[in-house]
Amino acid sequence: MRLHYLSIVLILFISVMLYSCIEEPTISEVKRPYSSLRLGNFSRNVETLNIEITNADGTVIKKTVNKNQMTTHFDIASGTRAFVVKNGNGDVLIQKNISVSSYEEITLLFSGTSKPGDDFYNTFGEIAYSEGDVYVYNGPKADTTAWLHYFDFISEMEEDGVLAKNFIARCVDKSTGKFVDADEEFSFNIIQSLATSPGEKRLLLLNLLNPGSTDPKYDTLGKHDINVEGGKRHYLFITGSPIANPLELVKSVESPLPVRSK
């Protein structure tokens, strides 16, 4: 009886050994870093952009963006990616590699005047704005605060032989006219961000007429009302004709993206 018991134990032991030798180890799949990307068309004179992004595996992401609009966020494998940007006629405006940082929320905007073959007047190009890591909450932490993001797409541009005026942005309380935030100075493709309080505001785009004077005088280039919402991010794109009066402002109010894992 004891011999029979030992035989069973020995058979079980050998079976376990053989199974462990035959079974291949399970290796967890390596996650490829990703980024959350969106695209925007704030060009001076291109109504439609057709954008193709080639991934490392050869697959192609295609997006169409109309003037003064943005796509929603979409995931893309991080790394250097080949971008081809065409207008509505199929003319190639940009063909280059653009680096996409790992685990970042990125807004990639196309701006400037497209004039292929004219190196002096062709200012069309891209500007990348990193909004933070995907695994971090990127936004105001309470309803008592809001974020403003100013984008200047017109300074230093020329139209009909007239150079755009440099300007500042002044945010005032709509009802009282009192200053809410410090003035923001701009130059082409520069982004300014700040935290502010919610409420009805008025954004004044001003050109200083007498620099250096102790009694500054301004020319109002634009006046736009903004309902600033607590807990939201407010994107303010100063775009359009650089000599328009008033200057054009495109507004987008958004909630921060949900926090994600790596």
Angle at 164 between CA 224 and CA 184, to 5 degrees: 50
- SS3 state of residue 17: helix
Given this model, what pLDDT does residue 29 score?
57
Tokens found for residue 177: 């006219």
Given this model, what pLDDT does residue 146 score?
96
Given this model, what pLDDT does residue 157 score?
76
CA distances from 164 to 97, 152, 210, 214 (A): 31, 12, 17, 25
Q: How many CA atoms lie within 13 A of 207 on its CB side?
A: 14
What CATH number has the domain spanning 32-134?
2.60.40.2890
Given this model, what pLDDT does residue 178 score?
87
Distance CA 236, CA 126 (A): 17
The CA-to-CA distance between both ends of the chain, in Å, stands at: 59
Given this model, what pLDDT does residue 17 score?
59
Domain ranges of the chain: 32-134, 142-255
Give the contacts of 43 (CB within 8 A, at least 6 positions apart). 49, 67, 110, 111, 112, 113, 114, 124
CATH of 142-255 given 3.40.50.1820, 1.10.150.170, 2.60.40.4150, 3.40.30.10: 2.60.40.4150
- SS3 state of residue 196: strand
Given this model, what pLDDT does residue 7 score?
55
- Element spanning 248, H or E: strand 248-254
Given this model, what pLDDT does residue 141 score?
85
- 199-212 in b/e burial notation, b at 16+ Cβ within 10 A? eebbbbbbbbeeee
In this structure, what DSSP letter does residue 22 have?
Answer: H
| Average pLDDT, consecutive stretches of 10 residues, N- to C-terminus, the chain (262 residues) | 51 54 55 92 96 93 98 96 97 96 97 85 91 96 92 82 82 88 82 92 91 87 95 95 89 96 90
Equal CATH topology for 32-134 and 142-255: yes
- SS3 state of residue 9: helix
